[in-house]
Amino acid sequence: MSEETKMHENTPEENTEANAEQTAEAEAGYANITALKKGDTVQGKVVKVDNDQAFVDIGYKYDGIIPLRELSSIPLENAAAAVEVGQEVELKVVTIDDEKEKLVLSKRAVDSEKAWDELQAKLDSQETIEAAVADVVKGGLVVDVGLRGFVPASMVERHYVEDFSDYKGRTLRLKVKELDREKNKVILSQKDVLDEEFEANKQRILNSIEVGQEIEGAVQRLTPFGVFVDIGGIDGLVHISEMAWHHVEQASELVKEGDIVKVQVLKVDPENERISLSMKAVQPGPWEQLGDHIQPGAIVPGTVKRLVSFGAFVEIAPGVEGLVHISQIAHRHIGTPHEVLEEGQEINVKILDLNPAEKRVSLSIKETEEAPAAPPKSEKPRKEKDSANDYVAQPNQSLSLTLGERFGDKLSKFK
């Protein structure tokens, strides 16, 4: 042994002093040994994580364990889902057995006690909280809010959800709906949060939207009287008469749910939260869309739309109707248009006059047809009465008689 080594060796007295210091430090660190008992709340640091438990140093003479069931109010697959090495945690002593050096701790008990108070405060203030979906069960979702929280299926979204299988792991924004500590019951709702946001957004749109404004929206619902279009979080109605310039029987003729359409705002009623929209207002009018083939003198196909006493209205293009005056329906005289026409009938018409500016067009049916030939005139029989012998001329008998033929017997007396 070198002199230098000898110089650094402790004497028995020094070793005794060092051991005494270590013992004092240990006693100081474990000053709560005799005071530690079941139900105590302690602070600790996670030193090891197994699948079914976690080990925690709480400054005691041996480490405590947190069983999987005591880590959370929500069933866990493994301990790592709740804690990690180095994490500071607050725990409650469940059992302590120094002889077996067994110290069982609970994180769940501490979290639950705090959660009840915190959730009550959130319920009173209606503050929004966030929580991850731990499990999908019959009738709704289970979330971890320090307690086992339940979100009924009807309170998850504003719309109906058929399958919640992909919700596990999602973070929801929730409001506390109901608390019952005695029954360990915690009911939460995400729908309330979404409803509040929807109402706030609706008011913002109602206050900012202007009549005449053109916007895009998504078709939400089809009804017998039109379609509802989402224009940014609020639905407006496009009445069926405002869907197109031509007559529309059913909305499904033009759109389906999910279609993106351009609309114009016709009316805003903030008090009743109603918005009237038009699809046809953003489309070129039918009179602006008339082709070159629709000009005075042209013969075009049309559909009889309405019959009135003075004529018939015929559609010659989508949304463009012209009048066939009763005098232009047939070459012969008719008392009413119903004598020769019926609504829905397909016919050809000739354009007599066209005025797009005034949206007027005059039509003729009879000028598309060749006029029938005039019937031959009937000959009336003629008769003459002879003043001398009451001679009556018969039909087809010549009246050109000579004087000798008519008065021969009388003239013979003068010979």
Long-range contacts of the stretch 248-251 (C-beta < 8 A, 24+): 250/224, 251/222, 251/223, 251/226, 251/227
Nearest to 135 by CA among 182, 107, 172, 89: 172
What's the rounded Cα separation, in Å, for the pair 162 and 153? 9
DSSP-based helix, strand, coil % in the chain, nearest 5: 25, 35, 40
What's the rounded Cα separation, in Å, for the pair 200 and 273? 12
Given pLDDT bands bounded at 50, 70 and 90, which one contains residue 409?
A: low
Q: Per residue in 50-65, pLDDT tens? A: 999 999 999 998 999 9
Q: Per residue in 290-342, pLDDT tens? A: 766 788 999 999 999 999 999 999 998 888 899 999 999 999 999 999 999 99
Nearest to 287 by CA among 310, 315, 266: 315
Q: How many CB atoms lie within 10 A of CB 225?
A: 11
CATH of region 44-112, choose from 3.40.47.10, 2.40.50.140, 3.60.21.10, 3.40.50.2020? 2.40.50.140
SS (H, E, C) 342-396: CCCCEEEEEEEEEEHHHCEEEEECHHHCCCCCCCCCCCCCCCCECCCCCCECCCC
Q: What is the mean pLDDT of residues 140-165?
A: 94
For strands 148-152 and 171-180, give the pairing: unpaired
pLDDT of amino acid 413 = 47
Give the single-character DSSP code of 72. -
Domain ranges of the chain: 44-112, 126-194, 210-282, 299-368
Which is the CATH superfamily of the domain at 126-194? Nucleic acid-binding proteins (2.40.50.140)
396 pLDDT exceeds 70?
no
Q: What is the mean pLDDT of residues 223-227?
A: 96
Structure tokens, 126: 């209606």
Q: How many CB atoms lie within 10 A of CB 328?
A: 19
Q: Do domains 210-282 and 299-368 have the same CATH topology?
A: yes
pLDDT of amino acid 90 = 94
Given pLDDT bands bounded at 50, 70 and 90, which one contains residue 14?
A: low
Q: Per residue in 162-196, pLDDT tens? A: 999 999 999 999 999 999 999 989 999 999 999 99
Give the single-character DSSP code of 33. T
Q: Which residue's entry shows tokens 């289970």?
A: 142
Fold entry, domain 210-282: OB fold (Dihydrolipoamide Acetyltransferase, E2P) (2.40.50)
Give the single-character DSSP code of 327. G
CATH of region 299-368, choose from 1.10.10.10, 2.70.98.40, 2.10.109.10, 2.40.50.140? 2.40.50.140
Residue 91 exposed, middle or buried by CB count within 10 Å (0-12, 13-18, 19+): buried
What's the rounded Cα separation, in Å, for the pair 124 and 172? 20
The SS3 of residue 332 is: coil
Q: How many CB atoms lie within 10 A of CB 70?
A: 21
Structure tokens, 334: 């008719």
Residue 107 exposed, middle or buried by CB count within 10 Å (0-12, 13-18, 19+): buried
